[in-house]
Amino acid sequence: MNWRLKAAIQNAIALLPGPLSQRVYYAMQRRFGGLRSPAVEDKLRQGVEVAERVEANGATVVGARVLEVGTGRRLGLPLALWLQGAERVTTVDLNPYLRAELVHEDLLQMRDQRARVESLLGRRLVPGRLDALLALADGFSLERLCGTCAIDYRSPADAAALDLADGAIDLHVSYEVMEHIPGPVLEAILGEAARLLRPGGLAVHCIDLTDHFSHSDPGIGPLNFLRFGERGFRLLAGNGFMYMNRLQVDDYDAIWARTGLVVRERLAEPDPNVAAALAAGAIPLAPRFAGKPPGVLAVLRAWYVGAAGGDRR
């Protein structure tokens, strides 16, 4: 869909009163958007990628007390982490977007594609947990699922200020969430992570730095949104449904450096084609971005793994 049309529709729906606007937007996503037939496999793969990053940094998901920032509408990441051995996953969202019907549909998909789920999770799948999960598909209840899978869903809850004790978690994770949060709030969330993580615990975050409108409009490139100034972009797409902070990887580096977490791993390879197009001046850039090197702007995806230090016991 043409991104300007999509943005205009989102802006119009955002003008409706709060709960109605949420209901209408959800109905639109279900009928025409990304929630028509969402694949559970994508969410499970995210959980595998998180487990891989955890292991690459000398830790494990097995037995971990996890905090997920930004639950969204489904429970894919918490379920994937539980299936791989997490002890419990607390998942928090500022907005109560979670939908039981979507979680149920994910479960039915997993039951239909059981062999695929098993091969995706591979050696990390904890024996018995998939059976326990799939047994919940008939007579589904979200409460029962959360009880069985040790998922503590909290919403509305701000990840920048949580009612959890110092050192209460081993892993602090999010997947394609940070790009939707304003920089100062992000900094507060990572500061809170430094408080919540036990010493040596890890913060593992995957960020999608592309213009998300380009995911559904083949007519624009991944950096299309960088051509607009602040005001112009806010007018075009400043609604809460598709908020994108447009922070670049050097901005994230600066934020992480101020949080009290030590960055252990940073995966942020520039896309060579995008870097070449930038170097050739083929991608228009607003002043906020024009001074940044192509090697920074061409990073389309980044992983950060930060470790909590300190001598808290």
Ligand X SMILES: C[S@@+](CC[C@H](N)C(=O)[O-])C[C@H]1O[C@@H](n2cnc3c(N)ncnc32)[C@H](O)[C@@H]1O
| CA-closest candidate to residue 307, choices 186, 205, 159, 183 | 205
- Least Å from the CB of residue 127 to ligand X: 27
Which C-beta is closer to ligand X: that of 68 or that of 170? Answer: 68
Residue among 14, 24, 33, 97 that touches ligand X (CB under 6 A):
97
- Least Å from the CB of residue 97 to ligand X: 5
Residue 220's SS3 state is: coil
- Residue 180 touches ligand X, criterion: CB under 6 A: yes
Which C-beta is closer to ligand X: that of 185 or that of 286? Answer: 185
Which C-beta is closer to ligand X: that of 62 or that of 94? Answer: 94
Which C-beta is closer to ligand X: that of 80 or that of 125? Answer: 80
Which C-beta is closer to ligand X: that of 238 or that of 294? Answer: 238
Which C-beta is closer to ligand X: that of 50 or that of 181? Answer: 181
- Least Å from the CB of residue 44 to ligand X: 12
CA distance 191 to 193: 5
- Residue 52 touches ligand X, criterion: CB under 6 A: no
Q: Which helix (H) or strand (E) holds 65?
A: strand 65-69
Q: Which two tokens stand for residue 163?
A: 């009612």
Interface with ligand X in residues 66-85 (CB under 6 A):
69-70, 72, 74
- Residue 50 touches ligand X, criterion: CB under 6 A: no
Residue among 3, 82, 153, 175 that touches ligand X (CB under 6 A):
175
186-207: b or e for each residue (b if 16 or more CB lie within 10 Å)?
bbbbbbbbbbbbbeebbbbbbb
- Residue 237 touches ligand X, criterion: CB under 6 A: no
Q: Which helix (H) or strand (E) holds 25?
A: helix 18-32
Chain residue at closest Cβ approach to ligand X: 72
- Per-residue interface string for the shown chain with ligand X, residues 126-165, x marking contact by CB under 6 A: --------------------------------xxx-----
Which C-beta is closer to ligand X: that of 278 or that of 303? Answer: 303
Q: How far is CA 206 from CA 16, 36, 112, 199, 306, in A?
A: 32, 24, 29, 21, 12
Contacts of 264 (CB under 8 A, 6+ apart): 57, 202, 305, 306, 307
CA distance 130 to 23: 32
- Cβ(197)–Cβ(308) below 8 Å: yes
Residue 239's SS3 state is: coil
Judged by the rule CB under 6 A, the positions of this chain that interact with ligand X are 69-70, 72, 74, 92-95, 97, 158-160, 175-177, 180-181, 185, 189
